[in-house]
Amino acid sequence: MKFQINNKKIHASDFGQGIDYQKDTIVFLHGSGLSHIVWSLTEQFFSNKNFNVLSIDLPGHGNSDGPCLESIENIADWLEEVFNNLKLKNLILVGHSQGCLEILEYINRYQDKIKKAVFVGGSNKMPVHPDLINLAQNGDSEAVKLMMKWGYEGSKKFIGGNPVEKIIQSPRDISEILAIDLNACNNYTNGTEAAKKINCPTMFILGELDKMVNLEHAKKFANSVKYSNTHVIHGSGHMIMIEKAFEMREKILEFLKK
């Protein structure tokens, strides 16, 4: 699906189904430097479960026009424009990593459309190591390698190559997309206050071996959120929707059926 916001082309993968306004819509929000591609297995699964699915490419990411938005707050305002443009209500927001911060700030500002929320590998704040930010700002490919080292459990190998390395391919992708996203995450400080406004059923899916989001901190934060429950996926690092896609999506479906 393609549409325009402020004369900029925006891409959202809908698995070729379009929008049926009689159904609830699941909106998938990708993490730093990534795109809708990371949700491919999840999107396919839920498109067959009587939901609309939309995996949105943020500005400057994937097939959406740039430039990238420089703060979580700006992204939250932009998402409201998207949802108004598409006339979406009864939303289920599913975010990974940076996408979790976007959900928090969106709910802080605009909560009337939200039916349920799912946080995958995220918490109320996501500080980024200065070494990673510096490498990314310089367009250094070591930034991607370092992100993968911290992000995946062990040294997993993927058939056809690491999917994240296939998305973040060039020095420009690193300096003009990934670096901006990492700074946005690092600079976001409103998560704890924003979480107080969550008044919808909420699920946290966390990776047991996540090196980017401290498990104990994330669990403590999840327990502080009203109407929430938490599922820890054993043997998974930060890239849960790639490492443990099948378990993750089954747990989300169980949550959505309640």
Q: How far is CA 206 from CA 95, 96, 105, 114, 147, in A?
A: 12, 10, 20, 21, 17
Residues in the chain: 258
Domain membership flag for residue 106: yes
Average pLDDT value over all residues in the chain: 92
Domain membership flag for residue 202: yes
Q: In this predicted model, what pLDDT tens digit does every residue of 201-234 receive, in sequence order? A: 999 999 999 988 999 999 999 999 988 999 999 9
Q: In this predicted model, what pLDDT tens digit does every residue of 149-166 receive, in sequence order? A: 777 765 455 555 566 777
**Residue 147 predicted with pLDDT over 90:** no
Asked if 203 contacts 230 with a C-beta cutoff of 8 angstroms, the reply is yes
| Conformation bin of residue 134: beta by default, left when phi > 0, alpha when psi is -120 to 50 | alpha
- Residue 191's pLDDT band, with cuts at 50, 70 and 90, is very high
**Residue 57 predicted with pLDDT over 60:** yes
Mean pLDDT of the 114-118 span:
97
Cis bond before residue 201 (omega within 30° of 0): no
Q: What are phi and psi of 45, to 5 degrees?
A: -60, -50
Domain membership flag for residue 168: no
Domain membership flag for residue 218: yes
Q: How many domains does the chain divide into?
A: 1
Predicted TM-score of the model (pTM): 0.94
| Conformation bin of residue 34: beta by default, left when phi > 0, alpha when psi is -120 to 50 | beta
User: Residue 164's closest CA among 38, 28, 58?
Assistant: 38
Q: In this predicted model, what pLDDT tens digit does every residue of 34-44 receive, in sequence order? A: 999 999 989 99
Pairing of strands 2-5, 8-13: antiparallel
What is the span of the domain harbouring residue 193?
Answer: 2-126+189-257
pLDDT attached to residue 155? 47
Taking the CA atoms of 126, 129, 132 and 136 in sequence, report the sign of the dihedral they define. Answer: positive
Domain membership flag for residue 165: no
Domain membership flag for residue 71: yes
The CATH number of whichever domain residue 54 belongs to comes to: 3.40.50.1820
**Residue 8 predicted with pLDDT over 90:** yes
Domain membership flag for residue 172: no
Q: Could you give the percent of the chain with pLDDT greater than 70?
A: 95
- Residue 111's pLDDT band, with cuts at 50, 70 and 90, is confident
Domain membership flag for residue 56: yes
